Structure 1
Amino acid sequence: MAIKSGDKVTKTKNSKNTIPGIHRIAAIQMASGPYVSANLSEAERLIEIAVSQGAKLIALPEYFAIMGLKDTDKVAAREKEGSGPIQRFLSKTAKKHQIWLIGGSVPLATENPDKVRNACLVYDDKGKQVARYDKIHLFGFDLGNEHYKEKNTIEAGEEVVTVDTPFGKLGLSICYDLRFPELYRAMGEVDIIAIPSAFTETTGKAHWESLVRARAIENLCYVLAPAQGGYHASGRETHGNSMIVDPWGVVQDRLPRGSGIVISSINTAYMQSLRKSLPALKHRTL
């Protein structure tokens, strides 16, 4: 059940006697602003809500730490891999709550001082960074008064990244990657796909849900899709609708707008039963 900012939350006991193959996962939705410290405080608050509801794998949206007044603001906030306030926050928070934490995207330094890598970082429950994915597909959009050219400030990644977790094999992607199904095929069989995003309202209302559900259906896996959702100081509007989708394409939880969380249980046995009944992944010929 989606929990919006300000909702009353009842804490649950995190029993160690969990059912094998069933895990609680959560997606954080934000409307981040231009100040890193304020965004990290909001992220911490929302993560604590997700933890109180039993989540053990939590994902933050793209640009969770900074949605600047201009595109170059994220370049100014860039960090070297392994150091900086954003990465320290992710590591400390994962260790504190003993959760696996997906930092939707962090601006990491490149050799080009005018660009960053838009990196999705994964931390285990001991606070160790165990995976890094650099966004491969860079968003470009030109319609009326809306113009976006990520290539001006972002250096594209090249590598497909998956990581083994206690919840299954996790495939990493970011936002615009969602439109390129070949990326997900290149991951092989994965149990969960993470798609932290900041879809514009224009493209999001037209395509977001269709694309997220399609990625779940065609890969017969769970999709964890945290998003930016609201109005930002720059004047940009993001679509929100963070969601968790099951391998049959059913939306398990969704939050249309505003800060909050979506949370759901995933069931490995259910996923495997669907793959056995409909072995589409084994029927591939191309």
Structure 2
Amino acid sequence: MTVRVAAIQMCSGTAPERNAAVLADLVRDAAGQGATYVQTPEMTGALQRDRAALRAALRGDDDDVIVQTARKLSAELGIHLHIGSTAIGLSDGKIANRGFLFGPHGEKICHYDKIHMFDVDLDNGESWRESAAYTPGETARLADLPFGKLGFAICYDVRFPELFRRQAVAGAEIMTVPAAFTRQTGEAHWEILLRARAIENGFFVVAAAQGGVHEDGRETFGHSIIVDPWGRILAEAGPSGAAVITADLDIAAVAGARGKIPNLKNAREFSVAPLDVGARTSGGAIA
């Protein structure tokens, strides 16, 4: 089966309502190009460094403007619409970095909360502490859709290959990685990580990204990308600004790639034996 998918690149500002309007235009553009699955980037709703302003704008699932817009668009256009993520207020006062998948009748199929938190100090002086504001997810998701099995990750999750492997073993044929990579880390690792995840698991990867200099001052890498199970780039956007990229995915290529490189089938359990340093230094033999 072949499906046309789209990855939407954005440069989200601090106002969810404005971002929702941009989102609507880009999704309609993607659907007009024949895409029946459309993915938006991480933090579609807003990129906002000011934590107080972010919290003031937070809403629950049903009241969030991005969620409401996505419900209407998916039903209007008859597509599967995947909001890569947006900030959602939780009942305990914390925040979820939450992605949503909507079906062609506007129904919510599932949501996914980003599992791995980006806590890091970069060489350029930037410091990020996602765990200071966001509650990490605990559950991976796998959506069995008419055109294939869809797995979920968000941004920093791409650095944890076990998340991808477990979903591949569970049957994922398309892996989604909406993101807001910084320019610095994106230049170094974005493409190679996504291609590696596709190759080592034999599935398609669709990664919609934020790109450009944002209203809150941060800069993201862009280069939204779609990769096939052999690691080949099917479509890629530029470094900044709004864009729509599309590709036709032949889902049979997943079985073909896994048949040629059957590493999922050949994987074995193993243990790691700690080295006895004392035995070496005392003249003992190391097997």
The separation in 2 between residues aligned to 1:103 and 1:118, in whole angstroms, is: 11
Give the aligned residue type for 2:173.
Answer: D
1:231 aligns with 2:208: no
> Which of 213, 235, 243 is the equivalent residue of 1:253?
235
Deviations 1:82-111 (A, max 9, x none): 333221111111000000011111222223
The separation in 2 between residues aligned to 1:74 and 1:219, in whole angstroms, is: 36
Give the aligned residue type for 1:260.
Answer: A
Could you say what secondary structure the match of 1:96 adopts?
helix
1:59 aligns with 2:39: yes
What TM-score, normalized to structure 2?
Answer: 0.89
> Which of 253, 257, 263 is the equivalent residue of 2:246?
263
For the structure 1 residues 29 and 94, does the alpha-carbon distance in structure 2 shift closer, same or farther, using more than 3 Å as the test?
A: same
1:281 aligns with 2:264: yes
The separation in 1 between residues aligned to 2:45 and 2:14, in whole angstroms, is: 8
For the structure 1 residues 251 and 73, does the alpha-carbon distance in structure 2 shift closer, same or farther, using more than 3 Å as the test?
A: farther
The separation in 1 between residues aligned to 2:185 and 2:151, in whole angstroms, is: 23
1:138 aligns with 2:120: no
Instruction: Identify which range, 254-263 or 67-76, moves more after superposition.
Output: 67-76
Partner of 1:122: 101
Give the aligned residue type for 1:194.
Answer: T
Contact 2:179–2:209 under 8 Å retained in 1: yes
Which residues of 2 match residues 66-215 of structure 1 at below 5 A? 66-113=46-93, 115-143=94-122, 144-187=124-167, 188-215=170-197
Contact 2:2–2:249 under 8 Å retained in 1: yes
Give the aligned residue type for 2:106.
Answer: G
Partner of 2:277: none
Contact 2:173–2:203 under 8 Å retained in 1: yes
The separation in 2 between residues aligned to 1:183 and 1:72, in whole angstroms, is: 32
Contact 1:107–1:119 under 8 Å retained in 2: yes
Contact 1:240–1:255 under 8 Å retained in 2: yes
Could you say what secondary structure the match of 1:186 adopts?
helix
The separation in 1 between residues aligned to 2:109 and 2:18, in whole angstroms, is: 26
Count residues with an aligned counterpart. Answer: 265
Cα distance, 1:248 vs structure 2: 0.2
Partner of 2:280: none
Cα distance, 1:270 vs structure 2: 2.2
Q: Which has the larger radius of gyration?
A: 2
The separation in 2 between residues aligned to 1:174 and 1:123, in whole angstroms, is: 17
The separation in 1 between residues aligned to 2:230 and 2:51, in whole angstroms, is: 37
The separation in 2 between residues aligned to 1:97 and 1:72, in whole angstroms, is: 36
Contact 2:64–2:88 under 8 Å retained in 1: no
| Greater RCO (CA < 8 Å, at least 6 residues apart) | 1
Contact 1:79–1:109 under 8 Å retained in 2: yes
What TM-score, normalized to structure 1?
Answer: 0.90
The separation in 2 between residues aligned to 1:256 and 1:194, in whole angstroms, is: 19
Could you say what secondary structure the match of 1:26 adopts?
strand
Contact 1:136–1:156 under 8 Å retained in 2: yes
Contact 1:77–1:107 under 8 Å retained in 2: no
Listed as ranges, the gaps of 5+ residues in structure 1 are 1-20
Could you say what secondary structure the match of 1:276 adopts?
helix
The separation in 1 between residues aligned to 2:232 and 2:250, in whole angstroms, is: 13
Partner of 1:13: none
CA RMSD of aligned residues (A): 1.2
